[in-house]
């Protein structure tokens, strides 16, 4: 490792090493970090018993290329307030650093990819050390710090400035191929965020291949056009020196223009082969310059890249720090597999060092087998630096709890037929009137705020912008007033951005020390468009409300491209999210207030049924106004408090059959509906009752909660080898063993499990084909959701008994 580096940033303004930086010491620490990262992966693959017949895996080459950049960050640049997303495949480097800083017990070093051990990729919720951003699905971890910075800007404006945090992402260069990165970079909501710095590990390799051509010009142009500051840390000290010699500028031009494939092919070569390959097509000046260099020196020279120079990396970080009006990106030219025998090999992505190669690496840095996991001696210079940095990086504890009481309902007005989407808008307006709740409410939408009924909220609370902006329109219906007091964060049309921002709003308690009540809205079909970011948000433990609206074929005239059918399954199956689909306004009011209350509590509540609720809520809503009378009647019959309990639990009995009918011992059926189709279910129930069928109607407000309660009972049985525990919710909702018809404006399978749960015949109707344009009546007819179809489904179910 070079100790005499000079700065090689092309645009670094201050190229000297600050006096208090001991580059040799940092390089010594980097060598140990590299060793530990390599050995963590090696141990997972070679020291543990493995009966699975599959390789454990891990990424030594991807780790090695970030060792310099990460050592420079943690051992010099970062403060306790900074937040960092680590490239997924460099997780061993992160854990090695945490270990040296005392943030990870040594017992974990041999647990990479083992149950309960270090996760393959950094995980906020599962790793034993403190991870700021989960990463794994490439691209998402890159954009997250940018949105976390946007959230900080919001939090600072509303709650007073926090100590400055820098939001940093360590990025694989091939991650830049993910479109979500550019959606984030180009959205106005992320403009001007000067505390963001991305460090691109520019090793010119992805998983399969050497990235074709030379892409830096394209990347630079994209970032600059989005208003970012770009730094290139390209060449190391040796090459910098060579460029200063006679023929140096020709050498530089030659290397700048060399396609990645050509350059990378040099790594596998030694001696005269490398010389020959390097000079293929080179101008005479270049030939002349390297003529007198011995082969091994030529190899060292041409592979001397700036991303492995401590001085250059620190200078780049400092330069970015001085930029006060825009985000920064550092292109650190690196070698994948730096310092390892697999350096630069095009097939090195998942290559593992052999045991002999690991032995050589160990002895190369002066360690023995006995002391191989040791941290630095506390009295040594690196040991002292570790202790000093650990003290600087120690953080204060943070809590997701918001000390406010959220009301259990807003008593939203329900005089006329009302849609759940409209009720949603009204509940938010009502909550925004409450002094204790309003300050924490924040909404966001990808250009669909008004069409998802956020206008009322926006009129009262304003749109967020870092500075006051003139409103040019004087629309009396919608006041789009932008300024630092605004509570709505508007995004361009990118559902990825929506879920990334929402995810970060729901983690503001941690990354900005301020819990928030975050709400996003999205057209329900486009939940799928942002799905990976949605999953990422809940996997990261974020707490928020998302309203998918309008949903289903009930959006009739909009046609198939806008009608969601599979989203109920997403809500039901996605861990960490509770999917909710009420039909009536008061039910929605209760459910939404309850969701905010749970988010504010900061806890993962465990329900009576054993269901764990982790704080993210997905409301699936529609624009269909429906008659609210049946709900009022149920409230009258059941009592408001008891009905509320049932609505929150996942369902209630909307209609009880006439006692006289029951006495006659007639055939009996239970109709189960969820969401917008309840009017058809009720009409069908009345028709069936007229035909002498004893008809029960259950309104399922959360199939997810009912399903989890059922599954929990089964799992307890499986895990204790005892009879399954019956779900009390299902027992209360379905006291009679009748056949069941389920009706849902969504894929029919979402509710079809109820038949199995009850052990009765079950006919499920729902939307199992793409929709099309038409009226609600037309569409319900087409998908068997009309009252007549529900009656026929009931007759079919009865015939199965
Ligand atoms: C969304 C997604 N797609 C594919 C992968 C599989 N994958 C993991 S790493 C990788 C290549 C990454 O290359 P780069 O970002 O340049 O990282 P390097 O290992 O070169 O540092 C791929 C395709 C993934 N993790 N996430
Ligand atoms: Mg790469």
Residue 40: per-residue pLDDT = 98
CA of 211 to the centre of ligand 2 (A): 8
Q: pLDDT category, 648, cuts 50, 70, 90?
A: very high
Q: Say if CB 717 and CB 725 are below 8 A apart.
A: yes
CA-CA-CA-CA dihedral for 536, 540, 546, 550, to nearest 10 = 20
CA of 178 to the centre of ligand 1 (A): 10
pLDDT tens-digit series, residues 608-637: 677 777 799 999 999 999 999 999 999 999
Separation between Cα atoms, residue 197 and residue 166, nearest integer Å: 7
- Residue with CA nearest ligand 1 atom 23: 207
Residue 363 has pLDDT above 80, yes or no: yes
Residue 512 has pLDDT above 60, yes or no: yes
CA of 389 to the centre of ligand 2 (A): 29
> Which atom of ligand 1 is nearest to 201's Cα?
21
Which ligand has an atom closest to residue 203 CA? 2
- Residue with CA nearest ligand 1 atom 19: 62
Residue 663: per-residue pLDDT = 64
Residue 1: per-residue pLDDT = 30
Residue 604: per-residue pLDDT = 83
Separation between Cα atoms, residue 64 and residue 788, nearest integer Å: 66
Residue 119 has pLDDT above 70, yes or no: yes
Residue 10 has pLDDT above 70, yes or no: no
Ligand 1 pocket test, pick from 69, 206, 535 with the greatest ligand atom count within 8 Å of Cβ, gives 206
Residue 30 has pLDDT above 70, yes or no: yes
Ligand 1 pocket test, pick from 86, 87, 207, 267 with the greatest ligand atom count within 8 Å of Cβ, gives 207
Q: Say if CB 38 and CB 337 are below 8 A apart.
A: no
Mean pLDDT of 679-686: 98
CA of 349 to the centre of ligand 2 (A): 9
> Which atom of ligand 1 is nearest to 205's Cα?
20
> Which atom of ligand 1 is nearest to 89's Cα?
19
DSSP H or E run through 513 = none
Residue 16: per-residue pLDDT = 59
Structure tokens at 685: 């129930």
Say whether the peptide bond before residue 442 is cis (omega within 30 degrees of 0): no
| Percentage of the chain lying above the pLDDT 90 cut | 90
User: Does residue 207's CB lie within 6 angstroms of at least one atom of ligand 1?
Assistant: yes
Mean pLDDT of 456-473: 94
Beta bridge partners of 720: none
Separation between Cα atoms, residue 491 and residue 347, nearest integer Å: 40
Q: pLDDT category, 477, cuts 50, 70, 90?
A: confident
Residue 3 has pLDDT above 50, yes or no: no
CA of 138 to the centre of ligand 1 (A): 6
User: Does residue 444's CB lie within 6 angstroms of at least one atom of ligand 1?
Assistant: no
CA of 173 to the centre of ligand 2 (A): 5
Q: pLDDT category, 334, cuts 50, 70, 90?
A: very high
Q: pLDDT category, 661, cuts 50, 70, 90?
A: low
Ligand 1 pocket test, pick from 59, 137, 138, 535 with the greatest ligand atom count within 8 Å of Cβ, gives 138
Mean pLDDT of 745-769: 97
Q: Say if CB 5 and CB 25 are below 8 A apart.
A: no
- Residue with CA nearest ligand 1 atom 15: 172
Specify the pTM: 0.96
CA-CA-CA-CA dihedral for 623, 625, 628, 631, to nearest 10 = -40
State the chain's mean pLDDT as an integer: 94
User: Does residue 699's CB lie within 6 angstroms of at least one atom of ligand 1?
Assistant: no
CA of 62 to the centre of ligand 1 (A): 10
Ligand 1 pocket test, pick from 85, 140, 174, 531 with the greatest ligand atom count within 8 Å of Cβ, gives 174
pLDDT tens-digit series, residues 123-177: 999 999 999 999 999 999 999 999 999 999 999 999 999 999 999 999 999 999 9
């Amino acid at each position: 490792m070079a100790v005499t580096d000079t700065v090689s940033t092309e645009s670094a303004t201050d190229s000297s090493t600050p006096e208090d930086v001991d580059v040799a010491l940092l390089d010594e620490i980097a060598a140990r970090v590299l060793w530990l990262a390599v050995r963590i992966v090696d141990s997972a693959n070679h020291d543990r018993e493995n009966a699975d017949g599959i390789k454990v895996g891990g990424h030594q080459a991807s780790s090695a290329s970030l060792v310099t950049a990460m050592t420079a960050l943690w051992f010099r640049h970062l403060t306790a307030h900074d937040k960092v997303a680590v490239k997924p495949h460099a997780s061993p480097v992160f854990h090695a650093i945490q270990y040296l800083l005392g943030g990870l017990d040594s017992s974990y070093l041999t647990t990479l990819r083992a149950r309960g051990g270090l996760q393959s990729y950094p995980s906020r919720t599962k790793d034993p050390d403190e991870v700021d951003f989960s990463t794994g699905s490439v691209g998402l971890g890159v954009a997250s710090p940018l949105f976390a910075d946007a959230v900080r800007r919001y939090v600072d404006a509303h709650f007073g400035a926090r100590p400055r945090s820098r939001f940093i992402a360590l990025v694989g260069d091939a991650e830049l191929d993910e479109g979500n990165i550019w959606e984030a970079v180009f959205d106005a909501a992320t403009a001007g965020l000067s505390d963001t710095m991305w460090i691109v590990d520019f090793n010119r390799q992805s998983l399969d291949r050497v990235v074709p051509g030379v892409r830096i010009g394209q990347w630079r142009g994209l970032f600059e056009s989005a208003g970012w500051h770009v730094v290139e840390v390209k060449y190391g000290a040796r090459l910098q020196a060579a460029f200063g010699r006679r023929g140096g500028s020709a050498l530089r031009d030659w290397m700048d223009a060399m396609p990645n494939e050509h350059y990378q092919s040099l790594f596998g070569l030694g001696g005269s082969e490398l010389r020959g390959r390097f000079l293929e097509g080179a101008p005479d000046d270049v030939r002349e310059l390297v003529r007198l260099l011995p082969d091994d020196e030529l190899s060292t020279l041409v592979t001397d890249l700036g991303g492995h120079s401590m001085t250059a990396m620190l200078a780049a970080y400092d330069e970015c720090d001085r930029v006060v009006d825009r985000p920064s990106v550092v292109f650190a030219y690196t070698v994948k597999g730096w310092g390892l025998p697999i350096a630069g090999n095009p097939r090195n992505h998942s290559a593992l060092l052999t045991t002999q190669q690991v032995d050589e690496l160990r002895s190369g840095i002066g360690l023995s087998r006995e002391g191989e996991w040791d941290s630095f001696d506390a009295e040594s210079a690196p040991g002292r630096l570790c202790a000093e940095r650990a003290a600087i990086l120690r953080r204060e504890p943070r809590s997701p709890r918001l000390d406010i009481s959220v009301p259990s309902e807003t008593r939203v007005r329900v005089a006329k037929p009302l849609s759940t989407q409209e009720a949603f808008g009204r509940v938010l307006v009502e909550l925004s009137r409450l002094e204790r709740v309003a300050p924490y409410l924040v909404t966001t939408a990808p250009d669909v705020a008004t069409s998802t009924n956020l206008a009322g909220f926006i009129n009262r609370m304003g749109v967020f912008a870092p500075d006051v902006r003139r409103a040019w329109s004087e629309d009396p219906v919608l006041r789009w007033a932008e300024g630092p007091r605004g509570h709505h964060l508007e995004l361009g049309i990118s559902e990825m951005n929506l879920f990334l921002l929402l995810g970060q709003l729901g983690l503001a308690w941690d990354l900005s020390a301020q819990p928030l009540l975050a709400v996003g809205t999205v057209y329900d079909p486009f939940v799928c468009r942002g799905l990976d970011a949605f999953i990422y948000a809940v996997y990261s433990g974020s707490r928020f409300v998302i309203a998918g609206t309008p949903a289903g074929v009930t959006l009739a005239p909009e046609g198939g491209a806008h009608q969601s059918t599979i989203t109920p399954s997403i809500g039901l199956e996605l861990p960490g999210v509770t999917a909710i689909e009420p039909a009536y306004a008061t039910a929605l009011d209760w459910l939404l207030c309850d969701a905010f209350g749970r988010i504010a509590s900061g806890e993962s509540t465990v329900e009576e049924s054993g269901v764990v609720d982790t704080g993210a809520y997905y409301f699936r809503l529609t624009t269909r106004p429906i008659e609210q009378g049946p709900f009022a009647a149920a409230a009258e019959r059941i009592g408001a408090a008891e009905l509320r309990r049932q609505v929150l639990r996942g369902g209630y009995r909307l209609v009880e059959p006439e006692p006289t009918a029951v006495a006659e011992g007639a055939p009996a059926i239970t109709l189960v509906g969820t969401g917008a189709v309840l009017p058809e279910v009720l009409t069908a129930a009345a028709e069936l009752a007229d035909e002498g069928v004893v008809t029960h109607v259950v309104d399922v407000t959360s199939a997810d909660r009912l399903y989890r309660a059922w599954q929990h009972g089964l799992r307890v049985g499986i895990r204790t080898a005892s009879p399954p525990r019956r779900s009390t919710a299902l027992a209360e909702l379905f006291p009679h063993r009748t056949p069941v018809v389920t009706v849902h404006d969504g894929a029919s399978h979402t509710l079809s499990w109820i038949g199995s749960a009850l052990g009765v015949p079950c006919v499920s109707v729902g939307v199992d084909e793409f929709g099309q344009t038409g009226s609600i009546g037309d569409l319900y007819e087409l998908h068997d959701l009309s009252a007549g179809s529900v009656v026929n489904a009931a007759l079919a179910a009865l015939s199965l008994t």
